[in-house]
Amino acid sequence: MSNRSMQPTTRQPQQAARGKLRLTYLIFIGVFLSLIVSVCYGAYTTHQRLESQLPRPNLETIVRDLRQYHQQTGRFPRDFSELDERLWQHARRERIANDGRSLSSLSNNYHYTLHTVAPERACVWAVPTGARASEAATHFWAITPERVERWTGPALKLDQVSLVREIPTQSQLALLAMTKQTTASGSRASSNDGVFSIFSLLGF
């Protein structure tokens, strides 16, 4: 038998081996790419879950709605239930506590407490909640139709949460490490103005 007649049979196993090697290579690439996509997607979903757990206060919206209620009625609402009934159309009823003064927001991981001191004055506590509460700040805002004074401090400890049930005194704000924020002009508001006039009104 001549060498020419043996060449086709020799090439067939070689071509089959190359085909198998190419198929194995393609499978390896596919598995490797799938692994990369899986790892990246897992990292993305973990990041999104952690981001959703980070408390983000929504005080600006609450202040806007409190002032809108004041414009319509001539006074601030006595509690969140009144605000929900008039402006929110019962959309937040299930998140309002039985006393009407507290509102829990699962979407931004904050617990709000409303204190209406007088028709022209209201105060709101905003306390972070959830798994990442310790990474967020506690806020106390004193609100009138014309201005807002803001205090910010660290997340409250369990034995401090009861303080949001009342309007804090100056000494309580200091104990909670709450710092008065600067005004839009960059200067600090006078200690005789704003919320401290509320202290005077209440006899603190």
Task: Say whether pLDDT at 185 is over 60.
Answer: no
pLDDT of residue 55: 87
Residue that wins the pLDDT comparison between 12 and 125: 125
- Sign, CA dihedral 7-12-14-19, equals positive
Q: Say whether both 79 and 98 belong to one domain.
A: yes
**Average pLDDT, rounded, for the chain:** 80
pLDDT of residue 17: 65
**What pLDDT, in 10s, does the model give residues 64-108?**
999 999 999 999 999 999 999 999 989 899 999 999 999 998 788
Structural domain that includes position 9 = 1-53
Q: Say whether both 45 and 71 belong to one domain.
A: no
Q: Say whether both 81 and 121 belong to one domain.
A: yes
d(CA 146, CA 131): 36
Q: Which of 5-9, 52-56, 116-120, 158-162 has the lowest mean pLDDT?
A: 5-9
Q: What is the share, in percent, of the chain residues with pLDDT greater than 90?
A: 42
Q: Say whether both 97 and 133 belong to one domain.
A: yes
pLDDT of residue 116: 92
According to DSSP, residue 87 is labeled I
Average pLDDT of span 175-202: 58
d(CA 127, CA 159): 13
Q: Say whether both 140 and 117 belong to one domain.
A: yes
Task: Say whether pLDDT at 203 is over 70.
Answer: no
Average pLDDT of span 149-178: 86
Note whether 88 and 65 are within 8 A (CB): yes
Most confident region among 16-20, 37-41, 172-176 by mean pLDDT: 172-176
Task: Say whether pLDDT at 61 is over 80.
Answer: yes
Residue that wins the pLDDT comparison between 152 and 194: 152
d(CA 64, CA 180): 21
Q: Say whether both 49 and 71 belong to one domain.
A: no
Strand partners, 137: 154
Task: Say whether pLDDT at 190 is over 50.
Answer: no
Task: Report the number of distinct structural domains present in the chain.
Answer: 2
